[in-house]
Amino acid sequence: MTDTHCPYCSLQCGMTLLRRGRSVLEVAAREFPVNEGALCRKGWTSTGLRGSRERLTTPLVRSRETGEWSVLTWDEALDLVASRLAALREEHGADANAVFGGGGLTNEKAYQLGKFARVALGTSRIDYNGRWCMSSAATAANQAFGLDRGLPFPLADVEQAEVVVLVGSNLAETMPPAARHLDRLRARGGRVVVVDPRRTPTADHADVFLQPVPGTDLALALGLLHLVDASGAVDESYVATRTTGFDAVRSTAAAWWPERVERITGVAAADLRSLATVLTSSKRVVVLTARGAEQHADGTATVLAWIDLALALGLPGRPYAGYGCLTGQGNGQGGREHGQKADQLPGYRMIDDPDARAHVASVWGVPPESLPGKGLSAYELLSAIGTPLGPRSLLVFGSNPVVSAPNATAVASRLRALDLLVVCDLVMSETAALADVVLPVTQWAEETGTMTNLEGRVVLRQQAVTPPAGVRSDLEVIAALAVRLGAASTWSTDPEEVFAELGLASAGGRADYAGITYARIREEDGVFWPCPSPSHPGTPRMFALSFPTTDGRARFVPVSYDGPAEPLDGTFDVHLTTGRVLAQYQSGAQTRRIRDLPDDGPFVELHPLLAVRLGARDGEPVTVTTRRGSLTAPARVVGTIRPDTVFVPFHWVGANRLTSDALDPSSRMPEFKVCACAVTVPALVGAR
């Protein structure tokens, strides 16, 4: 019996793994503060990939001539990869090699991968899929609060709020056990507000539901701030003592009267007014954003607009109130703190800060000037492949960009243009299938490591079973390559040792883990960072007295509304948005291989009015076309989506052939959540 956590989302539900016989593992629920014994069906079925014939168990190399795979020994594979990396560096410079990480990797792996890129490869080119996840919220929170921790309070705090506003979150399907906190809030008389272009299962449980046009959340927030100010409900003393910059924000909001907001968002002025009244008549309001609001080319500005509203109401730092982002991947939070992001070093330090460089270099035992500078963001990194100074090799750990990257056809063709693509994975993902070398790695139940959940709580996943013969852990792969590359520093393969080193490297940084140990995590149901010393209790709640900015105050940041990067026109006259369904996870590389989960996509969700206009019928194919590609899939005709919008889940190849690669100017988040499309019925096109 081993206590651990689910391999998937940022809730990191506690579970117990029970061994049956030599290798069969069964999941049992476990009491843990975020899930209290509940799991979603992905959690219940998570051991389904263990015995699967789909597991990779030997290194493979693919012939460029025939496309055939052949088996290599580990020594052959590692020698091959290391020698090619060294040769590319020799010929084209250190930045010829690039690394792409993942927010599902443990803290130890994320840390070691960042160190490997900077020390063993000497490349600036490392980034990860978290860039496509919560980077807009992270950028906004850093600007406004001086710190980015998804939730600055434990999730269960929302039960004590009076109002919870969910902007672009479908948590009933994306973190189902979390919905119980909202149910309890409502049982206590509190209210839940949901803002989503689709009436999702989350919206079904809401007291107030607003259904805006995709990509207009920023205008909605400005409209709410306008009404809050007009009703005299701004918390003036909070604004005066705890913030700076309100005047500019106030004057921007003055121009966003409800009827103007209605014209842009499609949300009736009366509905906006009643929501404003709900907000101004409550003290304990929690505003939470998720990908629906954030995955836009103005995602950072949109989050800032909602934070501005929260600050005007005096919420951040007040008990059972505030702003938070619902981080997504299992280690979405820790994954962005320890150095696999192009501009960061461990402890949420910035790579262009001389003190940060000196500190981290001293832990690594290398000269600070040997560390490269800031690299390219995830999509920019992939798009640079094939350009004269672009990456010539890419090492992928924990991501499947052929399915999950925006404008994925272009990304796949960039990957084909590499001299060397190496993918470490559990299964032959769509990205691994394009690789030159595939290295099979252990998965969660077969190894130990820490994850930082959406609350900033560091939890411990413990090894429950021996890995299948032939696979190695990511830490072993990284260390073996580093040694072959003659890298300076030490490269432990023991997770607990790596975690202790991470603690030292993070010490004094914004995300300080120095006081956290595996023993403490086991004893305390996880430890919240910052936790600078063994005697420090950890920090479940933040901002009560001050903000970690230079003057201790939060910043209002003025933002303006420009609308989606791709407005509708005569040809592309419907909004396309994308997202998730309950039973599949991300690119589907893992969950599509689990037999007990329905694999029934992709599909195109559309409104009966649109279906009638097109002559589309439920269950029959429709074609969605954008400026980048097209997808034909069965229609799901539902009254729950806006008539001007279609929704396609991204867990199957196809959705991202359609999506736009317009990037947010500061977070570099792609606009996954809205672009312009044309919807047609294939049979009718033929008949015309």
Ligand X SMILES: Nc1nc2c(c(=O)[nH]1)N[C@H]1C(S)=C(S)[C@@H](COP(=O)(O)OP(=O)(O)OC[C@H]3O[C@@H](n4cnc5c(=O)[nH]c(N)nc54)[C@H](O)[C@@H]3O)O[C@H]1N2
Q: Which residues bind Mo ion (CB under 5 A)?
A: 133, 328-329
- Contact between 327 and ligand SF4 by CB under 6 A: the answer reads no
The token pair at 109 is 């792996």
Alpha-carbon distance 225 to 537, whole Å? Answer: 37
CB 405 within 8 A of CB 383: no
Number of H helices, E strands in the chain: 25, 28
Q: State the virtual CA torsion across 503, 509, 515, 516 in degrees, nearest 10.
A: -60
Q: In what order do the strands lie in the sheet with 527-528?
A: 449-452, 457-461, 527-528
- Contact between 8 and ligand SF4 by CB under 6 A: the answer reads yes
**x/- map, 36-75, ligand SF4, by CB under 6 A:** ---xx-xx--------------------------------
Dmax over CA atoms of the chain, in Å, equals 75
563 class by beta-carbon count within 10 Å (0-12 exposed, 13-18 middle, 19+ buried): middle
In the complex, least distance from residue 430 CB atom to ligand X, rounded to whole angstroms: 8
In the complex, least distance from residue 44 CB atom to ligand X, rounded to whole angstroms: 13
Which of Mo ion, ligand SF4, ligand X, none does residue 541 bind (CB under 5 to 8 Å by kind)?
Answer: none
Which of residues 25 and 321 has its CB atom nearest to ligand SF4 in the complex? 25
Which of ligand X, Mo ion, ligand SF4, none does residue 399 bind (CB under 5 to 8 Å by kind)?
Answer: ligand X
- Contact between 175 and ligand SF4 by CB under 6 A: the answer reads yes
**x/- map, 617-636, ligand SF4, by CB under 6 A:** --------------------
In the complex, least distance from residue 8 CB atom to Mo ion, rounded to whole angstroms: 11
In the complex, least distance from residue 150 CB atom to ligand SF4, rounded to whole angstroms: 14
Handedness of CA 202, 208, 209, 214 (dihedral sign): negative
Cα radius of gyration (the chain): 24
Q: Report the candidate in 341, 320, 415 with the shortest Cα–Cα distance to residue 125.
A: 341
Which of residues 98 and 133 has its CB atom nearest to Mo ion in the complex? 133
Alpha-carbon distance 420 to 395, whole Å? Answer: 8
Alpha-carbon distance 210 to 194, whole Å? Answer: 6
Give the side-chain half-sphere CA count within 13 A for 48: 15
Q: Which of 6, 151, 418, 648 binds ligand SF4 (CB under 6 A)?
A: 6
Q: Report the candidate in 661, 656, 600 with the shortest Cα–Cα distance to residue 630.
A: 656
Q: Report the candidate in 485, 513, 170, 547 with the shortest Cα–Cα distance to residue 333.
A: 513
In the complex, least distance from residue 175 CB atom to ligand X, rounded to whole angstroms: 6
Which of residues 215 and 328 has its CB atom nearest to Mo ion in the complex? 328
User: How many residues lie near ligand SF4 (CB under 6 A)?
Assistant: 14
In the complex, least distance from residue 335 CB atom to ligand X, rounded to whole angstroms: 10
- Contact between 11 and ligand SF4 by CB under 6 A: the answer reads yes
- Contact between 177 and ligand SF4 by CB under 6 A: the answer reads yes
Which of ligand X, ligand SF4, Mo ion, none does residue 659 bind (CB under 5 to 8 Å by kind)?
Answer: ligand X
Count Cβ atoms below 10 Å from residue 282 Cβ, excluding itself.
Answer: 16
**What one-letter code names the amino acid at 474?**
D
- Contacting positions for ligand X (CB under 6 A): 9, 102-105, 129, 132-133, 167-171, 173-175, 195-198, 200, 214-215, 217, 290-293, 295, 328-329, 397-401, 403-404, 424-427, 429, 441, 443, 474, 577-580, 582, 584-587, 589-590, 647, 650, 655-656, 659, 672-674
Which of ligand X, Mo ion, ligand SF4, none does residue 176 bind (CB under 5 to 8 Å by kind)?
Answer: ligand SF4
SS3 state at 352: coil
Which of residues 133 and 675 has its CB atom nearest to Mo ion in the complex? 133
- Sequence-separated (6 or more) residues with CB below 8 Å from residue 443: 7, 49, 50, 426
Which of ligand X, ligand SF4, Mo ion, none does residue 13 bind (CB under 5 to 8 Å by kind)?
Answer: ligand SF4
Which of ligand SF4, Mo ion, ligand X, none does residue 163 bind (CB under 5 to 8 Å by kind)?
Answer: none
- Contact between 9 and ligand SF4 by CB under 6 A: the answer reads yes
Residues lying near ligand SF4 in the complex (CB under 6 A) are found at 6, 8-9, 11-13, 35, 39-40, 42-43, 175-177
